[in-house]
Structure 1
């Protein structure tokens, strides 16, 4: 119901502007109004933890030969804005983008949206989101785009490492443990990320870069455990490459003194 009300409000604003009201579920336009240069969160994926709301800024350019009257963007997850998944929609607080005139025909517009775990963020909507955008010109031309831009919304990840014993004799076995977790938006906690490939990496004391020793997978609780032979003083870490709905993350470094 909240989603349909949002779309209805935008359509109503179009009607008040004496425009032909476009269908909310499909691209539509009249005249030469254009939306371009859409950017979400500065081009970076939106990464949300367990409880804190994320403020997401959308910027875009609107052009029309008569000048720009107003514009707006709405964020959503789903096939269309009217069929968004599990309430996964975010309008700006004032329902309008703030547009700054650049020239007689061009304005740059910005709107800020809130994504909040447990509200419009639940686990099933992690991944690709879309920007629904509309702009109206001073001569009653308009453009509406169902997917003006796609972007990623991801569940924040954490990764730990512990190498022991410390110190250790050269040639002896070092056990390296760790844990990969990610935000669970449904429960408001971090939980183990199971069955994920994670690299064990080592950087010799004095070196500048890490090298990969092996790749292992997390168990059913997100735990990691493997062994290596002690060869030289240096730093161990785990490294996770990320997935479409979870960002890449490196653990902190754990130094081991080899005697």
Structure 2
């Protein structure tokens, strides 16, 4: 199913469906049915950019002594008017008593009226039915991050460079603006702490050299002394609303 409402900038007939968010229900159950695990997109993190549609997979594992009969569509609830509803789940038995029910929903920032205010922590509401007519309904059965995608670059110069000379490492941090008109686009992400990292050419491990902040234009710039051949990159740890991202390492040839 398509997204119901993840933003307030809607008008006319669309607004009728856009704000039709289900009323909150209290948790409830009958018998011994239990939800034991909820996983969204494999790692409970969803990153949405500005062009490609994103399919979100939701898996809910449940148990009952009679086995699991099925599940209702999962509701995904986020900040503001954030709301998604999956298709009908398919339940696969792992044993006589335990099944994992999976379903998905596709989000497209170009057509689904995403609001930047809806980025953050989301929750999965789930209803599971057992073979003996027991059931469990649980608000906030699991949580996940629904985040704005980000991009990060790094460029070290001059190259080649003599040992002991100064290297300038520049870069830029941008993130998805779902509300940009006429279409979503990436915009500057200012005042964010970003780590400058380095790894020797012979190593696979980056270490942090220093931490700086992006300026008002999302730009990054700092200097270091050249020592050995290796790669410089910037690394952004992410925020509640924006995904973590690493720049591609830029090789410096030290003479």
The TM-score normalised by the length of structure 1 is 0.80
The number of aligned residues is 235
Aligned equivalent of 2:77: 76
Aligned equivalent of 1:204: 200
**Residue aligned with 1:178, SS:** strand
**Residue aligned with 2:78, SS:** strand
Correspondence list, 1:140-219, <5 A: 140-187=133-180, 188-219=184-215
Which runs of 5 or more structure 2 residues have no equivalent in the other structure? 1-15
Whole-Å Cα distance in 2 between the matches of residues 173 and 43 of structure 1?
40
Moved more, 218-227 or 118-127: 118-127
More helix by share: 1
Structure 1 residue 24 displacement after superposition: 4.0
Change (3 A) 1:172 1:150: same
1:243 to 225, 239, 245: 239
Check whether the contact 1:62–1:68 (CA below 8 A) recurs between aligned residues: yes
The TM-score normalised by the length of structure 2 is 0.81
Structure 1 residue 6 displacement after superposition: 6.8
Aligned equivalent of 1:81: none
Aligned equivalent of 1:2: 17
Aligned equivalent of 2:35: 35
Aligned equivalent of 2:46: 46
Structure 1 residue 200 displacement after superposition: 1.3
Check whether the contact 2:37–2:142 (CA below 8 A) recurs between aligned residues: no
Which runs of 5 or more structure 1 residues have no equivalent in the other structure? 8-22, 79-84
Check whether the contact 1:35–1:60 (CA below 8 A) recurs between aligned residues: yes
Change (3 A) 1:254 1:69: closer
Change (3 A) 1:228 1:111: same
Change (3 A) 1:256 1:155: same
Change (3 A) 1:69 1:221: same
Whole-Å Cα distance in 1 between the matches of residues 228 and 65 of structure 2?
69
Correspondence list, 1:102-141, <5 A: 102=94, 105-117=97-109, 119=112, 121-141=114-134
